[in-house]
Amino acid sequence: MDLLYRKLADELASLINNGGFQRGDRLPGVRHQAQLRGLSIATVITAYRQLEDWGLLEVRNRSGFYVKAKPAIAVQPPRIVVTTMRPAPVTGQDMVLQLIKAANNPAIVQLGAAVPAPEFLPTRAVEQAITRVLRQQRVRANNYEFSTGAVELRRQISRRLADSGCAVHPDNLVITNGCQEALSLALRALTQPGDVVAIESPTFYGLLQVIESLGLEALEIPTNPRSGMSLEALELALSRWQVKACVVTPNFSNPLGCCMPEDNKKKLVSMLKERQIPLIEDDIYGDLSFSHARPSLLKGLDDNVILCSSVSKTLSPGLRVGWIAAGAYQDNIEYMKYVLNLATSTIPQLAVADLLENGQYDRHLRRVRGDYAQAVARMTEAIIHYFPEGTKITRPEGGFVIWLELPGEIDTFVLAHKALELGISIAPGPIFSASQKYRQFIRLSCACVWGNRVERALVALAGLIQQGTNPA
C-alpha cells in the first residue's frame, strides 16, 4: 500500500501546487476517489492524511476534504548566494544573544529562535516520566552517570539507529548536553585552532559559535534550498583548501529545511572518504519529516561519520539530552566529555529512556510532525498574504523553520532591531553566515501558537519591511 498511497498523495499535491485544485476546492470523497482510481479505501485515507500532514488539505466535519494551501507556484525559493569561497574566522554573532534572551521573554512574540512553543512538546508525558524515574530509581537518579551516560538511554538510541540502517553499539554512544555539546565535542576531537571546517551556507548559528570559540576558520559552501550542500562547490573548495572536517545537516537543515537526495548523500560520503576528511552529521531534525518516511542517515553509509543529535526539537529543549556516535573518535570524545562537565544530568537521561522505551516518543512524533507541517503551511500562507510582493520563501520538507529572502534594499539586522522594539523577535540572515552574508534574508520559526497575536506580529513585520524597501 505504501507506494500507492504516496503516488496518489504526490499526484494530488502537485495538482494543488500547480493550481489544478484551488484553495477551498473539495476533493472527491474517500469512497468516490477509491472507485475512480481502483484503489482501496485505506490507501485513499492514508494519502489524504499525508496531504493533511503537508498542510495542503483540511477535513471539515461531515462535509469532506478541502484544499487548504494556496498554490505553491506563488512562492519562489530564495536565491543561493554564491561568493568566492575562502576560509574565514566567524564574526558578528553578538546579535544571537539578544535572540536567545527574547526566547525566554513571554512579552515578545517569538519568531526568532528555533525553540518550539510548549504546545508542540509532550510536556505532560515528560513530567510523568520524570516522576516515574524519581520514584522508581531514586538513588540512581541522584548520582552521576559517568561518562558515556545512562546505558538504557544508549540502548534505546542504538535501537532507533538500527531502524534507520545504522549499526551503532550502545558502547559507541556518548550522551551529551544537547546537540550543541555533541557538535562541540566532535570539532574539538578533530581540529586544532586555525584549522578549516567546511560548512553549509547558510547554517545554524550555534555551529558558527562553536567554530568561533575553538579558533577555527569556516569555509562556507553554497547550499541549495532544495537539495542541500552543493557537491560541485564542495569539490572545488576541497581542491583549493586543506579542510580538516565537514559539518552538514542533510535532513531538514536549519535554516533551509531541505532534505539531501539519496544520491547526493552517497556522493558526499564517498567524496570525503576518498580524501580522508571526517564528516560530522547533525541530525537534530531527522525525526521531523512531513512525509511518513524518516530520511536515511549518512552514518548508515559510513560508520566513521560522526553523528550528533538530541531530543531538543522533539521532546524538550530544556532536558538538554543529546548524543554523539563518534566512531573511531569514541575514546577521545568520552574523555573530553568527562573533562568538560563530568556527565549529563541523570534524571533527564532516564526520563528520555523511559519515553523512548514506552512508545510515547513515537506517539508524540506521529502527532507533532503533522502539527509542524501545518504550522509551516499556515505561516507560509500568511506571509504570502501580508508580506510585500517579491518575498521568496523556502518550502521545508521537515522541521519547523522557514527562510525568507526579502525584496528590495533591506538590512535585516536593522529590521530585527526595529522588530524587537515592537516586541517581535526574528532571526536576521547574517547570523547564519560566518562572513555575514544574507543581509536580505530572515529565518522565522513556525513552532508558535497560531492566533491574533502572531498574525498581528506578521502584519507589523510586513509594515517594517515595506518601510525598509521604500526608504523615501
Ligand X SMILES: Cc1ncc(COP(=O)(O)O)c(C=O)c1O
Residue nearest to ligand X (CB): 178
Q: In the numeric block, which cell numbers belong to residue 108? A: 515578545
Q: Does 284 bind ligand X (CB under 6 A)?
A: yes
Contact 119, 312 (CB under 8 A): no
Q: Which of 310, 330, 374, 394 binds ligand X (CB under 6 A)?
A: 310
Interhelix angle for 151-163 vs 346-357, to 10°?
Answer: 40
Q: Which of 78, 286, 322, 430 binds ligand X (CB under 6 A)?
A: 322
* CB closer to ligand X, 250 vs 327: 250
Torsion angle in degrees (nearest 10) through CA of 377, 379, 384, 387: -170
* CB closer to ligand X, 206 vs 225: 206
Q: Does 93 bind ligand X (CB under 6 A)?
A: no
* CB closer to ligand X, 222 vs 257: 257
For the chain, helix, strand, coil in percent to 5 are 45, 15, 40
Q: Does 110 bind ligand X (CB under 6 A)?
A: no
Q: Which residue type occupies 89?
A: P
Phi, then psi, of 428 in degrees rounded to 5: -70, 145
Q: Does 349 bind ligand X (CB under 6 A)?
A: no
Q: Does 257 bind ligand X (CB under 6 A)?
A: no
Q: Which residue type occupies 282?
A: D
Q: Does 250 bind ligand X (CB under 6 A)?
A: no
> Site residues for ligand X, window 202-221 (CB under 6 A)?
204, 206
Q: Which of 111, 114, 277, 326 binds ligand X (CB under 6 A)?
A: 114
Cα 260 from Cα 425, distance rounded (Å)? 29
> Site residues for ligand X, window 127-186 (CB under 6 A)?
178-180
Q: Which of 249, 330, 391, 440 binds ligand X (CB under 6 A)?
A: 249
Q: Dmax over Cα atoms in the chain, in whole Å?
A: 67
Q: Which of 78, 228, 278, 317 binds ligand X (CB under 6 A)?
A: 317
CB of residue 147 to ligand X, shortest distance in Å: 18
* CB closer to ligand X, 112 vs 317: 317
Cα 284 from Cα 310, distance rounded (Å)? 6
Residues 6+ away with beta carbon under 8 Å from 7: none
Q: In the numeric block, which cell numbers belong to residue 184? A: 562541540
C-alpha closest to that of 447 among 408, 398, 387: 398
CB of residue 419 to ligand X, shortest distance in Å: 20
* CB closer to ligand X, 55 vs 112: 112
Q: Would you tell me which residues interact with ligand X (CB under 6 A)? A: 114, 178-180, 204, 206, 249, 254, 282, 284, 310, 312, 317, 322
